[in-house]
Amino acid sequence: MAQRAPTPGIHILTVRGIPIYLHLSWFIIFALITITLAKQFTSLHPGWTQGQHYALGVITSILFFASVLFHELCHSMVALRYRIPVKSITLFVFGGLAGIAREPDNAKQEFTIAIAGPLSSMFLAGCFWLATRFFHGNDMVVAACAWLWEINLILAIFNLVPGFPLDGGRVLRGIAWGITGSFDRATRIATSAGKFFAYALIVLGAWQALNGNWVGGLWMVFIGWFLLSAAQESYAQVAVRHTLTGVSAKDVMSHDVPTVSRDMSIEEYVHEVLRTGVLAHIVVGAGAPVGIVSLQAARTTPREEWPSTSIQAVMLPVERIQFAAPDEPVLAILERMQSTDMWQMPVISNGNILGMISRDAILRVLHTRLQMGHLAHQ
């Protein structure tokens, strides 16, 4: 799947500038798959030792997740070809997620990025199938490849189901986008299909659980619940995008620019933040801006040093300040704030600070516009 990745866990390697992480939940599914495979190999090959069963289970599990990583890398390489940044790839309990930084620019890009994953899994399924057909020197290798070609084929077919946010849902969105010419309408179509598929999985899983297959049934319900949550989140993201379209920094910014002197101590600055509730200030010296300071930056200094340390020591110098242009879309600003963990950003034009824009201000505008949109449809 190619979408926003969950919170990164343990960094294991970097490929083409893309950091690869193992989420903590990955260790759970890795252990479950390894144990399941060891039992399966024990049943199919009772002549092997227990150590061989579990060793092959571990190796096959590693190759499976290498296949998942290959699947996500194919998404990512196509995205990079279209100059779309990829923040990270995370392997977790449901497989993998490529954290593609933004939506594609057109329907062709959406379709191509989405289809790359299932095609890569089909390619691997073919490679492992050929190994089972033409490699006869080692039964353990053949047994592992037999399972791997089947699971990669299942992975490809499952991801082609036209339910957002699965790859098939994104393929559907690409096709609908190309037909309708509307990204928002295409996303609504794909998320509706995703919700339908998720509810179907939940109902089928519940039916299996009630008929005695508790493990398989509950696992299917869990996957259905995850896909339903992901589809609803994706729809909400589109609603936010649609609501904030056309809103720029100058429409949201506050013209009241909070400033503090660079000679102020961190102790005094923290009291100022507590008094006003403003979390970031422009630092001035000799009547000109020299940097920006925030409560988060102030807290990097040990508490006992606050009275004797000026905010100049912890501020971000003016030449390194991230700022917004007056006509910059609010959506782009919000994405930059989230990626850099900023809560406020100055709005600058021709070297002059025109105002400050904050996440809170953007969220207030979003809330108001959503409320007005709701009233307009009553």
pLDDT in tens, 213-227: 887 788 888 888 888
Query: In the structure, what pLDDT confidence band is assigned to residue 8 with cuts at 50, 70 and 90?
Result: low
Could you tell me the pLDDT band of residue 94, with boundaries at 50, 70 and 90? low
pTM over cut 0.75: no
Q: Tell me which of 131 and 246 has the higher pLDDT.
A: 131
Q: According to the model, what pLDDT value does residue 373 have?
A: 59
* Cβ-contact 319, 331 below 8 angstroms: no
Structure tokens at 341: 């963990």
Average pLDDT, stretch 59-76?
A: 94
192 and 152 fall within a common domain:
no
171 assigned to some structural domain: no
User: 378 lies in a domain?
Assistant: no
Q: Report the pLDDT averaged over residues 141-167.
A: 90
In a domain, 177, yes or no: no
Instruction: Tell me which of 95, 127, 160 is where a domain ends.
Output: 160
Q: Do 288 and 238 share a domain, yes or no?
A: no
Map tokens 């989405």 to a residue.
114
Q: What is the pLDDT of residues 297-307, one digit of tens each?
A: 888 899 999 99
pLDDT at 374: 44
Q: What angle do CA 341, 95, 141 make, to 5 degrees?
A: 140
Confidence at residue 11, expressed as pLDDT on a 0 to 100 scale: 87
Residue 65 resides in a domain? yes
My answer on whether 279 and 232 are in the same domain is no
| Domain C-terminal end among 202, 226, 245 | 245
- Domain identity same for 232 and 319: no
Helix 50-81 and helix 107-134, axial crossing angle in degrees, nearest 10: 150
Max mean pLDDT among 282-291, 306-315, 347-356, 360-369 falls in: 306-315
192 within 8 A of 183, measured Cβ to Cβ:
no
Find tokens 């782009």 and name the residue: 332
The predicted pLDDT at position 376 comes to 42
Residue 141 predicted with pLDDT over 70: yes
The reply to whether 240 falls in a domain is: yes
pLDDT at 4 over 50: no
Residue 378: is its pLDDT beyond 70? Answer: no
> Residue 17: left if φ>0, alpha if ψ -120 to 50, beta else—which one?
left
Domain that holds residue 359: 249-373
Residue range 135-155: mean pLDDT, rounded: 89
Q: Given this model, what pLDDT does residue 369 score? A: 78
Bridge partner residues of 353 (DSSP): 348
Domain boundary among 128, 160, 192: 160
pLDDT over threshold 80, residue 257 = yes
**Do 225 and 124 share a domain, yes or no?**
no
- Residue 5 scores a pLDDT above 60: no
Helices 50-81 and 24-44: crossing angle in degrees, nearest 10, is 130
Same structural domain, 142 and 211: no
Asked if the structure places residue 336 within a domain, the reply is yes
Query: 98-102, 137-141, 191-195, 339-343: which has the minimum mean pLDDT?
Result: 339-343
Element (H, E) at 145: helix 139-159
Q: What's the mean pLDDT in 291-314? A: 89
Identify whether residues 226 and 312 lie together within a single domain.
no
Please name the helix (run of DSSP H) or strand (run of DSSP E) that holds residue 376, with its range, or none.
helix 359-376
Choice between 344 and 192, residue whose per-residue pLDDT is larger: 192
Do residues 105 and 214 both lie within one domain?
no
The phi and psi torsions of 263 (rounded to 5 degrees) equal -85, -10
Average pLDDT of every residue of the chain: 86
Residues 200, 342, single domain; the answer is no
Residue 299 lies inside a defined structural domain of this protein? yes
Whether residue 84 is found in the same domain as residue 122: yes
* C-alpha distance from residue 225 to each of 46, 196, 348 (Å): 38, 11, 45
Do 241 and 254 fall within a single domain? no
Average of per-residue pLDDT across 274-282 = 85
Total domains in the fold of the chain: 3
Whether 175 maps to a domain, the answer reads no
Q: Check whether residue 74 and residue 122 sit in a common domain.
A: yes
- What pLDDT, on the 0 to 100 scale, is given for residue 74? 95
CATH number of the structural domain spanning residue 344: 3.10.580.10
- In whole angstroms, what is the distance from residue 211 CA to residue 328 CA? 57
Which residues are 357's β-sheet partners?
Answer: 345
